[in-house]
């Protein structure tokens, strides 16, 4: 119901494992507030990804799917069991990708690692859980000293701060999963470790070769990505602030400022933005979050991000449902504290007239305390333009394609609904209002802002009307019997 949907404007992305992805489980997460399913290709095979996506589609056609690529990253190889390293221990690091990692040799998936890593630098594994200082080289093998007690599992990320390594934009594994994403027609590919626009364009070229409509989310998780943010934003659909690796590559005290700046720039450029990594990390093993985690999620919501993301909490944790519910409660509480609206230029994503009407609709809905905004869309551009103003009234987006409906599940304050394309303003109002009234509890004196025009030859909004439910029902001749049908 509209009453329920008004409570959460910030969207929730939940990472799902093929080990726990049954439809009943996904349905529970969806009903608790999950909007988007994330599939991390670094931790499963193609069959596992197919299983997750198929089950998500069976739960609701409104759930969109993000498939993560590994991108230009280095990871450790598998190990037979978690390995416990002790401070002061000596260990070798080698690029033998087909060999297992042991207590004696940590193998990684990059053959030439010794060529680029000098002595004296620190290698950080698994978001800094294990720190190793490189003391010498032995041919193509690095030798280091363990700097802290730690446990190492399989396929963990490897960061080498301040060292630039010549890695390809797209790995062989990425090619496999990008092909899979095209075949399964997912909505988004989140490309990891984006350093510049070239990394985004490399993925876009592959998608274009398949004539795919998949949108690219650029994951910002290193200094190069931060430095080149503007050009990256100009070439992708959305941005993910991936704070785990970012906090390793960049001094940790800079992360809050970087996060806030990226969110601000994304809002200004009408790019959806996701804040990710360890938001409720303690809930992997505990039923309640820490106070610091609550504040972390709250700060992201205060900054008006489009979405917040759960990783291990829902992929491998003991309390996945509780994690989604907790995130929903925090978002609802923060969003309800104050009215909000970001004053900025109308923008130009969908044309000058359409952009101006979008801004007017949001401001009007707030000033007259409208119940909702009804708007139609072909590709979602005008809706994203409207969502960027971060108005407090829900935008019910009537989408003329299922893909657009699912893409908008990532946008702030938008309730996407599929509708067959209409031929006139009156037909659009009649069908959309009838559907709204049949599903949600609205009074005759509730005010609705109607924004439409995508059924005409020109894309974007060309028509705006404001009226009460009673007035609009009379205007397009909706009777009580129509609502009962």
CA distance 127 to 242: 11
Q: Say whether 390 is catalytic.
A: no
Percent composition of the chain: helix, strand, coil (DSSP 3-state, to 5): 40, 20, 40
What torsion do the CA atoms of 136, 192, 198, 259 make, to the nearest 10 degrees? -100
Active site residue 219: yes
- Give the separation between CA 177 and CA 46, rounded to whole angstroms: 7
- If one counts every other C-beta atom within 10 angstroms of the C-beta of residue 284, the result is 19
Q: How many residues does the chain have?
A: 485
Q: Which of 70, 45, 43, 49 is nearest to 171 (CA)?
A: 70
Catalytic residue selected from 75, 156, 359, 371:
75
SS3 275: strand
- The residue assigned the tokens 């209002």 is 433
DSSP H helical ranges for 250-400: 255-268, 291-302, 312-315, 320-335, 352-367, 381-387
Is 57 designated active site? no
What whole-number distance in Å separates Cα of residue 239 and Cα of residue 232? 9
Residue from 198, 202, 207 nearest 225 by CA: 198
Q: For the purposes of burial, counting CB atoms within 10 Å of the CB of 418, is it exposed (0-12), middle (13-18) or buried (19 or more)?
A: middle
Q: Which of 8, 215, 219, 473 is catalytic?
A: 219
Cα–Cα distance, 454 to 107 (Å, whole number): 55
Going 376 to 377 to 382 to 384, the CA torsion angle's sign is positive
Of 91, 84, 144, give the one whose Cα is nearest residue 118.
144
The yes-or-no answer on residue 75 being catalytic is: yes
The conformational region for residue 185 under phi > 0 = left, psi -120 to 50 = alpha, else beta, is left
Q: Which of 8, 11, 38, 70 is catalytic?
A: 38
Residue among 157, 277, 305, 381 flagged as catalytic: 277
Active site residues: 38, 75, 219, 277
């Amino acid at each position: 119901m509209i009453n329920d949907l008004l409570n959460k404007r910030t969207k929730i992305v939940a990472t799902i494992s093929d080990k726990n992805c049954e439809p009943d489980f996904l349905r529970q997460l969806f009903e608790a507030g999950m909007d988007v399913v994330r599939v991390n290709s670094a931790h499963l095979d193609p069959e596992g990804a197919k299983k997750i996506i198929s089950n998500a589609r069976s739960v609701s056609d409104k759930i969109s799917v993000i498939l993560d690529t590994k991108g230009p990253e280095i990871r450790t190889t598998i190990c037979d069991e978690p390995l416990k390293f002790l401070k002061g221990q000596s260990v070798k690091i080698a690029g033998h990708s087909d060999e297992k990692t042991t207590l004696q040799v940590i193998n990684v998936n990059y053959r030439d690692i010794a060529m680029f890593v000098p002595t004296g630098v620190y290698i950080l594994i698994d978001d800094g859980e294990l720190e190793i200082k490189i003391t010498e080289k032995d041919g193509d093998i690095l030798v280091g000293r363990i700097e802290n007690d730690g446990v190492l599992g399989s396929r963990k990320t490897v960061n080498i701060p301040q060292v630039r390594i010549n890695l390809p934009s797209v790995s062989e594994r990425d090619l496999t999963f990008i092909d899979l994403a095209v075949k399964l027609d997912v909505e988004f590919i989140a490309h990891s470790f984006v350093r510049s626009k070239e990394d985004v364009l490399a993925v876009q070229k592959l998608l274009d070769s398949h004539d795919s409509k998949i949108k690219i989310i650029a994951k910002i998780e290193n200094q190069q990505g931060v430095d080149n943010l503007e050009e990256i934003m100009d070439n992708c659909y959305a941005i993910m602030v991936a704070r785990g690796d970012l906090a390793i590559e960049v001094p940790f005290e800079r992360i809050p400022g970087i996060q806030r700046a990226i969110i601000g720039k994304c809002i200004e450029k009408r790019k959806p933005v996701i804040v990710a990594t360890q938001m409720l990390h303690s809930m992997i093993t505990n039923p309640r979050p820490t106070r610091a985690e609550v504040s972390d999620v709250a700060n992201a919501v205060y900054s008006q991000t489009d979405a917040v993301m759960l990783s291990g909490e829902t992929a491998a944790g003991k309390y996945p449902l509780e994690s989604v519910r907790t995130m929903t409660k925090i978002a609802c509480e923060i969003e309800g504290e104050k009215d909000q609206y970001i004053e900025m230029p109308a923008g130009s994503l969908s044309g000058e007239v359409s952009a101006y009407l979008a801004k007017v609709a949001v401001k009007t809905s707030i000033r007259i305390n409208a119940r909702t905004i009804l708007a139609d869309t072909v590709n979602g551009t005008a809706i994203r333009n409207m969502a960027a103003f971060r108005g407090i009234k829900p935008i019910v987006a009537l989408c003329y394609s299922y893909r657009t409906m699912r893409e908008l599940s990532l946008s702030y304050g938008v309730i996407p609904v599929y509708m067959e394309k209409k031929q006139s303003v009156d037909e659009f109002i009649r069908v959309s209002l009838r559907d709204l009234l049949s599903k949600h509890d609205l009074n005759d004196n509730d005010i609705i802002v109607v924004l439409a025009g995508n059924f005409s030859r020109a894309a974007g909004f060309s028509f705006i009307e404001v009226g009460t439910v009673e007035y609009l029902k009379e205007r397009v001749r909706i009777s009580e019997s129509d609502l009962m049908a």
